[in-house]
Chains A and B, each alone.
Chain A
Amino acid sequence: MKRNYLYILFWVCTLFGVSVSSARSEILPPTGLAAKTFQHEIFLTWNADEANAWEVVVDDRSPIRTSTPQYTLDSLVHNRQYTIKVRTIKGEDFSTFAVLQATTQNIQKAIDAPDRIPYLRTIRIDGITPKRLPLYFNDLANEKACITYKFNGHPITPIDNHLHLSSSAYKDKLEINIDEGEGRRWHIVYLISLER
């Protein structure tokens, strides 16, 4: 009789174990994880693979959940290697991580070069600007710099590292004050046209 109980327990455990391991094996880590690096951002993409939720982990930062198979990591330090892990989420379960290492680009000019000018790489070169403008800079040496914005003369505060711009004018004036500390200050004025 005791032997029969053990036998049943064995099969229950076996079955349970099989069911758990089979559930985990059904959730596969994202494939095709790729990174496009900038000076302060890394743009990640991966294959959707019929999933609709993922978790992105960068170094020791808090995990970030996303419902699209892409994500932009911002406010990164230039010229630094980051370990990026992405896993698929299904309900309460998740896959193992797909892992990638990427290094942000270096700034183009030396920190103390007099002609180094931080600028928004997200404003098109001809001045066309998205209404939701990502604040992604090039040649910004200190990503913790104090940066303030004015749009058509009025102060404007970024939301999620974006400026939300609205205007019916043909040309708009975007002013940016950057203070990196140690006397490195810039006042930048763009005359932009918002995307229609």
Chain B
Amino acid sequence: MTQPPKGARRSYGVKAAPYGFLLPAAVLFALFFALPIGYAVWLSFHKVEIKGLGLGKGARSEVWAGLENYASALTDSEFLASALRVLGYGAIVVPVMLGLALLFALLLDSERVRGRSFARLAIFLPYAVPGVIAAVLWGFLYLPDVSPFHYLLEKAGLPQPDLMDGGPLYLAMSNIAVWGGTGFNMIVIYTALRALPAEVYEAAKLDGCSELQIALRIKIPMVVPSLVLTFFFSIIATLQVFNEPMTLKPLTNGIPSTWSPLMKVYNDAFTGGNIHAASATAVVLALATFALSFALLRISNRRTTQGASR
């Protein structure tokens, strides 16, 4: 108290400190998020104009293209086909994966189920397996000469479908995503379940509720927020699927190089060399992700406020 300068310096330190701590994150965000996003948006509104024969310096210049790239992106049949494929794929992956994640989380939370710690670890294990490697493993398991499914079908005298073409391809691709993603989502839901107060169940049990009734009437409604969260992350991951189809592609002729929207973007940018069109497609994809995310957030907010005012 006899040293006002020191006190003043300290309060200045307290004021400046948070900005100092945030500096590395802010710089990295600016360099590797904000700048690239800005650049992608800029690219999406420009195109290359070639003057004359396109020879010599200054013959190629980037000019304003307006919404031209967006118009061609949205009418590109390859892009639309890839978007449809991913919708079909997502319609399988998201409900199956989250359904299994919820089921396993509820089973892990039930005292009468045995082998819970083993199962928890085993189901979580695929999280540690890179998507590329998961696709390699399943890809081989889908090959007719290697696959145990084909072996069993052959023994049973049943027809053996090609798992990596046509309709079965959707199931094969979805299976990889379900296998890889169920564990993480299970942990998220299980964590929420364990955070619920035990008295609620005790009371329900005394009232004669069965475990199943408790799960359906109490546990599931109370973990809705984490279900929304997992739903959210699953949708984003589905829209961005790239590694798995890219890895399966060399094993089959059934996967075109523009199977998913991201593959289409990659193909345009790095094989076709049209970075402007690719940027426009990427921006469309980002906007679709945002639109879906905000719609989901609104729905879930309405849900939680309803729950709170109940």
User: Is B truly associated with A?
Assistant: no
